[in-house]
Structure 1
Amino acid sequence: VSQFSRLFTGIEIHPGAKIGKGLFIDHGMGVVIGETAEVGDNVTLYHGVTLGGTGKHTGKRHPTVGNNVFIGSGAKILGPVVIGDRVKVGANAVILEDVPSDCTAVGIPARTIYKKRCEVIEIKDYAGKRKKIYNEMII
């Protein structure tokens, strides 16, 4: 299947890669997902994205991408790094180190430009029912 899809779509996903539910590859030409890569649920990849190795590692040598992650066009995530949940990776970024959850990473080499923290606050509505409010803050 991987060779068939590569021929017709330009997307190369190694058969050993672990892919979560809801992977969306938009304009997929040139997307590469390596053998030991792990991709979480609801991840979006744009064209030219590489989840690859550096050639320096053995065993687990490709990235682990969390849930609800957006990876922009041309981004390269290399080596056994971990990309947390709800991360946004800018176009053409080169990531060589872990990126914590709720961050945005851009540049070559990539750096974190901001981190979003979300607090859950419980309140009671006018009828006395408990509700949760999500308070997002940029740090």
Structure 2
Amino acid sequence: MKTVTIYTDGACSGNPGPGGWGAILQYGPHKKELSGGEGHTTNNRMELTGVITALQALKEPCVVELYSDSKYVIDALQKGWARGWKARGWIKSDKKPALNPDLWETLLALCDYHTVHLHWVKGHADNPYNNRCDELAVAESKKFR
């Protein structure tokens, strides 16, 4: 399988409010930037949408090295929370409804299709790819203001 490196980020001006997401896909010497946004959304929905859209852009099953500054995304996948929410009918361990079940359902299916290795990176720090994803996300969110 091909190994693809993906960086993603989401942004929201107000929460909820206008939001955007950005993603960078890298395979060998190839690099592709993706971005999009919504007029009324949340930061977490944009974080999830960035990851989903990047994984959906892959045309075949891949090994994916996924980098995100979203603890919401990384922890929910790495620690098995999202699968637990799904198993309980999208109810969290505290008996409250899990947010964004539509997006989590899609993301979990994509994680089953691809072999995804998760990496948390500090946001707004010294990672140029994470910073570029942030620029893409913020630019998209500004289109809806």
State the TM-score, normalized to the length of structure 1. 0.23
Q: Structure with the greater relative contact order (CA < 8 A, sep ≥ 6): 1 or 2?
A: 2
More helix per residue: 1 or 2?
2
Work out which of the two has the higher radius of gyration on C-alpha atoms and give 1 or 2. 1
More strand per residue: 1 or 2?
1
